Structure formats: structure tokens, C-alpha cells
Chain A
């Protein structure tokens, strides 16, 4: 199975909004709403930010939102803050009953 496609890096200024894309296929992102997003600060455990395309777990800031169109899911971070600087990964369930991650996006604020 191939990794989902994410931009390798993105940058934004404090207060701005950015959107990270995650492109899959009709065997994963395109067919299921089981897309999740993780924030990963180096040396720490990844943190769930979004599940089921657009749901936020309790405790996650409402500055984080998710959406999907066709084979592409997106994570939008509004009002960028310095603490948002991290690596972000998407993940999807697949028709083979497996999971696949994206290659990751390094966000610089």
C-alpha cells in the first residue's frame, strides 16, 4: 500500500491560517470517512487532533478543523500560534482492512 500524499513542508505567520492536504485513492480516503490527523512534536508521542474527517477530540482547540472532498482530506489550522509548529500526519482506513499514514508535513510558524 502506498502512503497518502502530503506536502513535505508548509509555513505560515502567527495569526494566519493554513491548510494541509492529504491525497489518497478510491481505496482509502475516497471511500471511507475514517480519516484522522495527528500532531507530532519531535521526541514526544503523536497527538490525535481530528478523527472521522472532521471531529475534534475533547481538549483540542477549535482552531483545528478537518474536511474531505473526493480522495483528498484537509486539515486547516486557523490563527496560527508558535506552539502549532510540528509535524502533521494524516491517516486513513483502507479497503484492505489496513491503515495507511501520509508522509507527513513539517509546519513552520
Chain B
């Protein structure tokens, strides 16, 4: 059974760059059947899709975040990463990484989530 685990700083200063890594275990990130994605949930709000990546490096981003987001993959470490630049308080959220079915567009495995607070 695949497992995903987010890691990264819990606090980021305004205007700086948020960086998170998702480590995948129990399965290969190079599988041809899945994308690997990031979703966030601001306090008291709903889920927001950030984007996802295929092991080959193809990426898809939320248009509202596209100018600030980069998702990358490291197949040698079975990891994928999120960077979000020029953060503000509005980027404070629980960030989840998840595995995304390639054909039917649903997330079937999720990490536990990590809270990132943007504060000076």
C-alpha cells in the first residue's frame, strides 16, 4: 500500500518561498498509472487543487497559482516537491500531497498533511 509523507518548514516569512517535499513509499513514483499532486486547505476553508506532475516531468497547475508554483519530481529519491514563491498570509494552509489516478482524475492516496504558516 502506497504511503505519502509531506515534509518541510512549518513557518515561512512573507515574500519568501515555501518549499515542501513529499516522500512516496510502498510504490514507485515512476509508475505510468499516476500523477502526483499537491492540494491545500486554508484554515476554515475548503480544499484547493494546486497542481500535479507526471514522473516524466509534465506538469499541470491551478491557473490562479500558476505564476508562483513549481512542482518537480526526483525519481531517484521517490519524491516530488512543491515550491510557492512570494508567499503571503493567504498561503497559510495545511498542504497535502496525494497520488492521482492518470485516467480517471481522482486522488486515491493522501498524505497526512502539513501546516505551513506564513508569518514574520
Q: Kindly state the separation between the CA atoms of A4 and B113 in the bound complex, as whole angstroms.
A: 23
The count of A-to-B residue pairs whose CB atoms sit within 8 angstroms is 65
Are B49 and A51 in contact, with the CB atoms below 8 A? no
User: Which residues of A lie under 8 Å from residue B64 when comparing CB positions?
Assistant: 1
Are B112 and A44 in contact, with the CB atoms below 8 A? yes
A101/B48 contact (C-beta < 8 A), A1-B64, A45-B112, A45-B113 known: yes
- Tell me which of B8-16, B74-82, B103-111 binds A: B103-111
Q: Kindly state the separation between the CA atoms of A99 and B111 in the bound complex, as whole angstroms.
A: 18
Are B104 and A91 in contact, with the CB atoms below 8 A? no
Interface size for B (C-beta < 8 A) is 24
- Which residue on A lies nearest to B46, using beta carbons? A104
Interface size for A (C-beta < 8 A) is 27
User: Which residues of B lie under 8 Å from residue A103 when comparing CB positions?
Assistant: 46
Q: Does A64 count as interface, using CB distance less than 8 angstroms? A: no
Q: Kindly state the separation between the CA atoms of A75 and B64 in the bound complex, as whole angstroms.
A: 28
Are A34 and B96 in contact, with the CB atoms below 8 A? no
Q: Kindly state the separation between the CA atoms of A3 and B41 in the bound complex, as whole angstroms.
A: 13
- Which residue on B lies nearest to A97, using beta carbons? B60
- Which residue on B lies nearest to A101, using beta carbons? B47
Q: Map CB proximity to B onto A43-65 as digits: 1 under 8 Å, 0 otherwise.
A: 01111100110000100000000
Q: Identify 11 new A-B residue pairs, CB closer than 8 A, beyond the known A46-B110, A57-B108.
A: A32-B105, A34-B106, A38-B47, A46-B96, A48-B106, A48-B108, A51-B108, A96-B63, A99-B37, A101-B48, A104-B46
Which residues from chain B sit less than 8 Å from chain A, CB to CB? 37, 39, 46-49, 52, 60-64, 96, 98, 101, 104-108, 110-113
Closest 4 pairs (CB-CB, A-B): A36-B106, A45-B110, A104-B46, A93-B105
